[in-house]
Structure 1
Amino acid sequence: MKSELPIIISDRLLLRIGIQEEIPKILKYFMGNKNFLTPFYPTWADHFFTDEYWEYQLENNFLEFIHDQSLKLFIFPKTQPTEVIGTINFNNFVRGAAHFCHVGYSLAEAAQGKGYMTEGLRAATEYVFQELDFHRIMANYMPHNQRSGNVLKRLGFIVEGYARDYLLINGKWQDHILTSLINPDWQPNEY
């Protein structure tokens, strides 16, 4: 069980688990980018755009982190440390003989093309490898989302396959390209 919440710092960004006081900023991020993100997201959950949903979600994010199940981060620019510009979510933590997880991410439309996701995902994967002791991180993207594919390629993720009708995105089954990044320095950790 983890005892300390991470604050991951890169040159221009802060990445951390959201707190209750940030719900208005989180809602602003998702509401302001809803049209942009919808083609890349599962169908929005009922009440997703409400305080109540995020009160529960942030508490759940915290509990999942301390119980070694997930790490769900919000991205903040250092110059505006209260402004949410994206998310990086590590999910499906599997230990035992596997030591892997999945990662998904989103970035505000206005923040596209500035290298933020490459920078943030690089810092986050380093944390997941070094501090959380994962051996493998898997990321999947839709073939037509070449921006996402380019980010993963820049970070060294290797294409491992193609999955037909893999995820239900925006109400439609979508094919995905399967990639992974391996931690070359992995050592077994005593839990």
Structure 2
Amino acid sequence: MKSELPIITSDRLLLRIGIQEDIPRIVQYFRENKDFLTPFYPTWSEHFFTEDYWHNQVENNFLEFIHDQSLKLLIFPKKQPKTIIGTVNFNNFIRGAAHFCHLGYGLAETAQGQGYMTEALQVATEYVFQELNFHRIMANYMPHNQRSGNVLKRLGFVVEGYARDYLLINGQWQDHILTSLINPHWQTNEWE
């Protein structure tokens, strides 16, 4: 188990796991960006936009991190460290012979087109490779979301395939382009 929560920084951004004090800002972020994000998300839970939902979710995110199951980060601009502009989620941690995880991400509508997601994913994937010692990160995007595909391409993700009806997004099965990034410096741990 990990004892320290990560604080990941880049030139303009700070990424960290949400804490209870963030809950009103998390709810505000999702409420303000609901219409923009809906075409890219699974159907929202009935209570997703409530503080009660996020009290449980923040606690679950913390527990999943310390038990090596996921890493769910909020993105803040360094100049506005109380304003959430996006999320970066590494899910489905698999160890053993695999050492891989899945990546998902979202960015506020007002933060689009400024290079924030590329910057955030650059430092977040470095952390996952160097500190969590994953060998492979997989990220998938819908073919019509070329903006997301361009971000992944800039970061070195390689297209590996095409999956029909891969994920249920906004109530519809959507095809996805499958990509991955490999850690060239992965090392086996003797204690595993």
Fold-level similarity (TM above 0.5): yes
Q: Equivalent residue of 2:160, what SS?
A: strand
Partner of 2:23: 23
| Aligned length in residues | 191
Partner of 1:3: 3
Question: Unpaired runs of 5+ in structure 2?
Answer: none
Q: Which amino acid aligns with 1:100?
A: F
Partner of 1:93: 93
Structure 1 runs, 4 residues or longer, greater than 3 Å off: none
The equivalences for 1:69-108 within 5 A come to 69-108=69-108
Offset of residue 46 of structure 1 = 1.8
Q: Which amino acid aligns with 1:164?
A: R
Offset of residue 28 of structure 1 = 0.8
Partner of 2:56: 56
Q: Distance in 2 between matches of 1:123 and 1:21?
A: 24
Q: Equivalent residue of 2:147, what SS?
A: helix
Offset of residue 163 of structure 1 = 0.1
Partner of 1:110: 110
Q: Which amino acid aligns with 1:61?
A: N
The equivalences for 1:1-191 within 5 A come to 1-189=1-189, 190-191=191-192
Q: Equivalent residue of 2:88, what SS?
A: strand
Aligned-CA RMSD value: 0.5
Offset of residue 43 of structure 1 = 0.1
Q: Which amino acid aligns with 2:42?
A: P
Offset of residue 178 of structure 1 = 0.1
Offset of residue 146 of structure 1 = 0.4
Q: Distance in 1 between matches of 2:26 and 2:130?
A: 28
Q: Equivalent residue of 1:98, what SS?
A: coil
Offset of residue 98 of structure 1 = 0.2
Offset of residue 39 of structure 1 = 0.2
Q: Distance in 2 between matches of 1:170 and 1:180?
A: 24
Q: Distance in 1 between matches of 2:28 and 2:49?
A: 9
Q: Distance in 1 between matches of 2:46 and 2:90?
A: 22
Q: Distance in 1 between matches of 2:36 and 2:77?
A: 20
Q: Equivalent residue of 1:33, what SS?
A: helix
Q: Distance in 1 between matches of 2:170 and 2:147?
A: 18
Offset of residue 87 of structure 1 = 0.1
Structure 1 residues 69-112: Cα deviation after superposition (integer angstroms, max 9, x where no partner): 00000000000001000000000000000000000000000000
Structure 1 residues 122-149: Cα deviation after superposition (integer angstroms, max 9, x where no partner): 0000000000000000000000000000
Question: Unpaired runs of 5+ in structure 1?
Answer: none
Structure 1 residues 153-179: Cα deviation after superposition (integer angstroms, max 9, x where no partner): 000000000000000000000000000
Q: Distance in 2 between matches of 1:46 and 1:122?
A: 33
Q: Distance in 2 between matches of 1:178 and 1:93?
A: 17
